[in-house]
């Protein structure tokens, strides 16, 4: 069963910037897909379309059996709330709220999560001792883990991460990867944009975007895990 299908998806910004051209892609339920490609190739645009934050100019997006490219704003809000967990490179935490309050507020401010539930989510990402800290009192890796706790609060079927380790050092990258590996092992579907071959190496499949087109799909990704760890991005 496919969790996600993009069929002939194109995105035009204004009248002259075409960010995606006729993208076709399928992601099976439980699959981990890595998306790579140079800066400006359309990766974030694709994540915004999949994450129901924007609609394609043409083509369709079928998420868990529902055509979100045809949905109303209310439909898209419901899909984001019920099915999607989003993790960005920039942390998007509210600076004057503690880690616990940020998780309680939930993403898209769709609901207030109970304090006990938010605390449990932070414990799951190893932050049980940091719940009353403000974002400014947390390291980059800890802030990213607060974002992950927030994204996972509603047990989303589909987790979308756009360069989630782009601002992290190797130790924190490993911590985030451990969380993703755990999510994968428990059946979540993951789509992770990354410049890092190491991060991509853990995916089941890799799609490469160039100039808004999928130019390569490799199953599994052509990278090896740590040990033969190559830290340098293949895109420099």
DSSP-derived letter for residue 107 is: G
**Cβ 164 to ligand ADP, closest distance in Å?**
13
What is the nearest approach in angstroms of Mg ion to the Cβ of residue 120? 31
Q: Which long-range CB contacts under 8 A does 39-46 form with residues at least 24 apart?
A: 39/235, 41/209, 41/210, 41/211, 41/212, 42/11, 42/209, 42/211, 42/212, 43/162, 43/193, 43/209, 44/162, 44/193, 45/11, 45/19, 45/20, 45/212, 46/6, 46/9, 46/20, 46/209
Nearest CB to ligand ADP, comparing residues 17 and 215: 17
Stretch that binds ligand ADP, among 35-43, 83-91, 106-114, 134-142 (CB under 6 A): 35-43
Based on the shown chain and the rule CB under 6 A, indicate whether residue 39 belongs to the binding site for ligand ADP.
Answer: yes
C-alpha closest to that of 206 among 193, 218, 194, 192: 218
CB of 200 to Mg ion, least distance (A): 15
* Cα–Cα distance, 87 to 81 (Å, whole number): 14
Give the CA angle between residues 88, 93, 99 to the nearest 5°: 120
Site string for ligand ADP, 43-62 (x = CB under 6 A): xxx-----------------
Contact 200, 223 (CB under 8 A): yes
Query: What is the CA 182 to chain-centroid distance, rounded?
Result: 15
- Minimal distance in Å, beta carbon 87 to ligand ADP? 15
Selected from 3, 4, 31, 42, the binder of ligand ADP by CB under 6 A is 42
Asked whether position 22 contacts Mg ion by CB under 5 A, the answer is no
Q: How far is the CB of 10 from ligand ADP (least distance, A)?
A: 12
**Can you tell me which of 44, 77, 218, 233 binds Mg ion, judged by CB under 5 A?**
44
Measuring CA to CA, which residue among 151, 83, 154, 155 is closest to residue 164? 151
167 binds Mg ion, rule: CB under 5 A: no
Minimum CB–partner distance for residue 47 and Mg ion (Å):
8
Which among Mg ion, ligand ADP, none contacts residue 13 (Cβ within 5 to 8 A by kind)?
ligand ADP
Residues that bind Mg ion (CB under 5 A): 43-44
Residues that bind ligand ADP (CB under 6 A): 13, 17, 19, 37, 39-45
């Amino acid at each position: 069963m496919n969790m996600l299908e993009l069929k002939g998806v194109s995105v035009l910004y204004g009248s002259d910037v075409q960010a995606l051209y006729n993208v076709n892609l399928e992601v099976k339920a439980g699959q981990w897909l890595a998306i790579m490609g140079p800066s400006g190739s359309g990766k974030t645009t694709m994540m915004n379309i999949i994450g129901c934050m924007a609609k394609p100019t043409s083509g369709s997006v079928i998420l868990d059996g529902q055509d979100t490219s045809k949905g109303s704003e209310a439909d898209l809000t419901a899909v984001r709330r019920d099915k999607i967990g989003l993790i960005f490179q920039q942390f998007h935490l509210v600076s004057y709220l503690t880690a616990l309050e940020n998780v309680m507020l939930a993403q898209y401010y769709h609901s207030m999560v109970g304090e006990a539930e938010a605390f449990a989510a932070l414990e799951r990402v190893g932050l049980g001792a940091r719940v009353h800290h403000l974002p400014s009192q947390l390291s980059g890796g800890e802030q990213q883990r607060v974002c992950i706790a927030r994204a996972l609060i509603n047990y989303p079927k589909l987790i979308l991460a756009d360069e989630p380790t782009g601002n992290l050092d190797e130790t924190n990258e490993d911590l985030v990867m451990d969380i993703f590996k755990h999510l994968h092992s428990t059946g979540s579907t993951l789509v992770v944009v990354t410049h890092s071959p190491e991060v991509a190496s853990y995916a089941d499949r890799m799609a490469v975007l160039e100039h808004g087109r999928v130019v390569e799909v490799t199953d599994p990704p052509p990278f090896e895990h740590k040990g033969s760890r190559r830290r340098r991005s293949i895109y420099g």
